[in-house]
Amino acid sequence: MCEISEKLEKAKEYICKRAGIKPAVGIVLGSGLGNFAERAEIVSEIPYEDIPCFPRSTVEGHKGRFVFGKIGNTPVVIMQGRVHYYEGYPMEDVIMPARIMGLLGIKTLLLTNAAGGVNKGFSAGDLMLIKDHISCFVPNPLIGKNLSELGTRFPDMSEVYDRELSGRIKACAESLGTELKEGIYCQLTGPSYETPAEIKMLSVLGADAVGMSTAVEAIAARHMGVRVCGISLITNMAAGISEVPLSHEEVKEAADKAEVKFGALVERFIAGLSE
C-alpha cells in the first residue's frame, strides 16, 4: 500500500498528462446532477478507473470521471460522481479527489449535493446555499499524519464557505429569478436514511439539510487553502417531516426535475468567475 502523499502524486501526474487544460475551478456534482458537464466545452474526460491509486464510485447514477473543459472562459475540472464514506472507503480516499483538484491548481471549489430538508420552511426541489456545515458525526478527514505540504495541522474552519463566493451565487440566483434558500448542511455517514428522532435532533442542533457527503471534502479543500462554496438540492423532506418513506429513486427523480434550474445557476456563477 502506498503512502497517501505517494498516491496523490501518482494520480496527479497521470491526470496532468491527460487533462489538456489547467483548471482554476473545481466542481463536484451530486446525485443525479451529473449531466451538468454537457454545459461545458469539453477538452478531456478521464474515468476514475484509469487513474492509478484512485478510488472508484460504486453508487448507481454516479458516472465516475473527471471532465476538463471550459464554462464560459473559466477553465474547470468537473467531478462527475464522488466517492462516499458509506461505500466503505477510508476517509483518506473519500477526500482524495478534492485534494487532487487542489494539487491540479484549482483556487475555487464548488460542492453540490442532494440533501434531505430538515428546515420545515423548505420543500423538495429547493436549492440551498450552504452557509456552514456540521461534520462532527463523521470522522474528521484530516485525522492521521498531517500532510504539511498541503496545509497546517490545525486548520481554521471559521469560514469554510467563502462569503464572497456565496454572495456571487446569491446574485446569480437573483438575476436568474431562481429562489435560493440558505442554511446549514449536516453530513452523516449514511447509507441508511435518518430516523425521525435523528432528524429532530439535527433540527435542534441547527441543521437545515442533511446528506452523506460534502463537509469532509470542504474540510480537505480548506486545509489546502482552496476557497469553497456549496449548493444543496433539497430532493426530499427528511424523515418524520415527510410522511412517506424515503427512497433513492425519489432522490434521483427530484434531482432530475431540478437539473435545468440548478445547471443554469451553476453555469452563470462559474462563467462569471472569469469575467
Catalytic residues, by residue number, are 31, 62, 84, 86-87, 114, 212-213, 236, 248
Residues belonging to the binding site for phosphate are: 31, 62, 82-84, 114, 213
Does 93 interact with ligand HPA (rule: CB under 6 A)?
A: no
CB 23, CB 105: distance < 8 Å: yes
- Residue type present at position 126: D
Alpha-carbon gap, residue 230 to 243, rounded angstroms: 28
Site for ligand HPA, residues 35 to 54, rule: CB under 6 A: none
Phi and psi at residue 230, to the nearest 5°: -155, 150
Indicate the residue among 92 and 194 with the shorter CB distance to ligand HPA. 194
Q: Give the three-state DSSP class for 18.
A: helix
Does 185 interact with ligand HPA (rule: CB under 6 A)?
A: no
Residues belonging to the binding site are: 31, 62, 82-84, 114, 194, 213, 236
Member of 34, 116, 141, 230 binding ligand HPA (CB under 6 A): 116
Nine-digit cell at 232?
444543496
Strands 74-80 and 25-29: parallel
Burial 169-194 (b: 16+ CB within 10 A, else e): beebbeeeeeebbbbbbbbbebeebb
CB of 165 to ligand HPA, least distance (A): 23
CB of 31 to ligand HPA, least distance (A): 7
Alpha-carbon gap, residue 25 to 109, rounded angstroms: 6
DSSP bridge pairs for 228: 109, 161
What DSSP element (H or E) covers 230? Answer: strand 227-237
CA 199 to chain centre: 21
CB of 250 to ligand HPA, least distance (A): 8
Does 241 interact with ligand HPA (rule: CB under 6 A)?
A: no
Does 194 interact with ligand HPA (rule: CB under 6 A)?
A: yes
Site for ligand HPA, residues 244 to 273, rule: CB under 6 A: 246, 251
Residues belonging to the binding site for a purine D-ribonucleoside are: 194, 236
Indicate the residue among 8 and 251 with the shorter CB distance to ligand HPA. 251
CB of 272 to ligand HPA, least distance (A): 28
Does 130 interact with ligand HPA (rule: CB under 6 A)?
A: no
Residue the block writes with cell 485525522: 143
Q: How many C-beta neighbours within 10 Å does residue 201 have?
A: 14
Site residues for ligand HPA per CB under 6 A: 114-116, 193-194, 210-212, 235-236, 238, 246, 251
